[in-house]
A and B are shown apart, each in its own frame.
Chain A
Amino acid sequence: MFQNIGEMIILFWRTLQALPLALRHRAKVFEQLFEIGNASLLMACILSLFIGGVLALQAGSVLVERGMANFIGGMVGVSMAKELAPVMMSILIAGRIGSAMAAEIGSMRVYQEIDALKTMNINPIHYLVLPRVLAITIVLPILVVFSIMVGWLGGALVSHFNAHINLSLEGYFNNLREIVSIGDVLNGVIKSFAFALVIGVVACHQGLITIGGPRGIGRSVTKAVVNSIVLILLLDYVLTRFLMYFEAF
Chain B
Amino acid sequence: MSSNNSQSVRVEIRDLRKSFGSQEVLKGISFTVERGEIFVIMGPSGSGKSVLLRHIIGLNRPASGDILIEGDSVTKPGVLAQYRMAMVFQSGALLNSLNVGENVGLYLSEHRLKTPDEIKRIVADKLEIVGLKGLEDKMPSELSGGMKKRVAIARALVVEPQLILYDEPTSELDPLMTVIIGEEILRLREHTHSTSIVVTHDRDLAFGVADRMAILHEGEILFSGTPAEVKANPHPLIQKFLHAEVQFQKS
A residues with CB within 8 A of B: 104, 107-108, 111-113, 115-122, 127
Interface hits, B57-109 → A, CB 8 Å = 57-59, 80-81, 85-87, 89, 91, 93-97, 106-107
A111 touches B96 (CB 8 A): yes
Q: What's the interface size class on B, roughly? A: 20 to 34
The CA of A116 and the CA of B89, in the complex, are separated in Å by 8
A115 touches B93 (CB 8 A): yes
B111 within 8 A of A: yes
B94 touches A113 (CB 8 A): yes
Rank and list the top 5 A-B pairs by shortest CB-CB distance, nearest first.
Answer: A116-B93, A112-B93, A120-B107, A119-B87, A122-B110
Among A107, A113, A122: residue with most chain B CB under 10 A: A113
Q: B59 contacts which chain A residues (CB < 8 A)?
A: 115, 118-119
On whether A120 and B159 interact (CB within 8 A), knowing A112-B89, A112-B91, the answer reads yes
B237 within 8 A of A: no
Known: A120-B86, A121-B80; 16 extra A-B contacts, CB below 8 A, are A108-B95, A111-B93, A113-B93, A113-B94, A116-B93, A116-B95, A118-B59, A119-B57, A119-B59, A119-B87, A120-B106, A120-B110, A121-B1, A121-B81, A122-B106, A122-B107
B93 touches A127 (CB 8 A): no
Quote the shortest CB–CB distance from B52 to chain A (angstroms): 15
Interface secondary structure of A, over-half rule: helix
Q: B106 contacts which chain A residues (CB < 8 A)?
A: 120, 122
Give B110's nearest chain A residue, CB to CB: A122
Q: Across the A-B interface, how many residue pairs have beta carbons closer than 8 Å? A: 46
Interface secondary structure of B, over-half rule: loop
Among B81, B110, B159: residue with most chain A CB under 10 A: B110
Q: Mark B42-64, 1 if CB is under 8 A from A, else 0.
A: 00000000000010011100000
Some 23 contacts from A to B, beta carbons below 8 A apart, are A104-B97, A108-B95, A111-B96, A112-B91, A113-B94, A113-B95, A115-B93, A116-B87, A116-B94, A117-B95, A118-B58, A118-B59, A119-B59, A119-B87, A120-B86, A120-B106, A120-B107, A120-B110, A121-B81, A121-B107, A122-B107, A122-B111, A127-B110
Interface hits, B100-137 → A, CB 8 Å = 106-107, 110-111
Give B1's nearest chain A residue, CB to CB: A121
Q: A118 contacts which chain B residues (CB < 8 A)?
A: 58-59
Q: B85 contacts which chain A residues (CB < 8 A)?
A: 119
Q: B86 contacts which chain A residues (CB < 8 A)?
A: 119-120
Quote the shortest CB–CB distance from B32 to chain A (angstroms): 22
